[in-house]
Structure 1
Amino acid sequence: MRFLFVVVLASVLFACSKSKEVAGKESLAGSWLLSSYYESTGAAGEWKPANSLPNRRLELRADGTMAGDLIILNRFETYTTRQDSLVFYGAARQDSLVMPYELESNILMLYPLCYEGCGLKFRRVLP
């Protein structure tokens, strides 16, 4: 009987693991403003404020459409989520861009693929 208890207890402990929550379009939907960007030239990089950049807005809609004036994303019209990445699509879905992302509260981090390391940090624009 003691052996059975230990087996059941071990099964419960090993079966319970934290799973990384993947945000859906509903939680990503909203207006976002680029607050800082990560830049590295091969050495250790740093986050820099994006206040001086003219085009910093990104709007992700719950229906999968998007708008904004960020140069890196201005050719894309729709998006979808795939595990821990956002996939942006151009007209007729002929052009696409995959970016890993993290979402914590009202902060959205996008990580474009680049050699030295780069990132975009957005804050949600609350109504």
Structure 2
Amino acid sequence: MELSQVSFEPMNEVHNKEAEVLERLLIAIKNRENLDNVYDEFVKDVENHFSFEQKLMEKYEFFAKIPHKMEHNKILNELEKIKNHLNEYENLEKYFDTTFLPWLNNHIATMDTVTAGFFSQIGAKI
């Protein structure tokens, strides 16, 4: 799975790892195998992804950190609600195809692109 690249390489690395874990999740949903464990791994990866960005936004006083964090929280809340419905495979597939993936691509193309540009411009270090 290819995700858009941004101008701050550490963010690309986090996004690429998330794409790998997401691919494993989509396979687990399709095959209806080991879904609980793979879903937990995916949610943990998303939490780490968001935490990574939020720590940098705090550290470097990113001007749009509040709306960016609100978007993260919205998705984390959705993922938490879904955890109780993992056996609803069709709904799960639909969520990732029609909600999560479009959201992720849009989020990277908009908020993460601006955030990465800011980090690159100021010479942020992780």
Q: TM-score, normalised to structure 2's length?
A: 0.24
Q: TM-score, normalised to structure 1's length?
A: 0.24
Larger helix fraction of residues: 2
Considering Cα pairs closer than 8 Å and 6+ residues apart, tell me whether 1 or 2 has the greater RCO: 2
Larger strand fraction of residues: 1
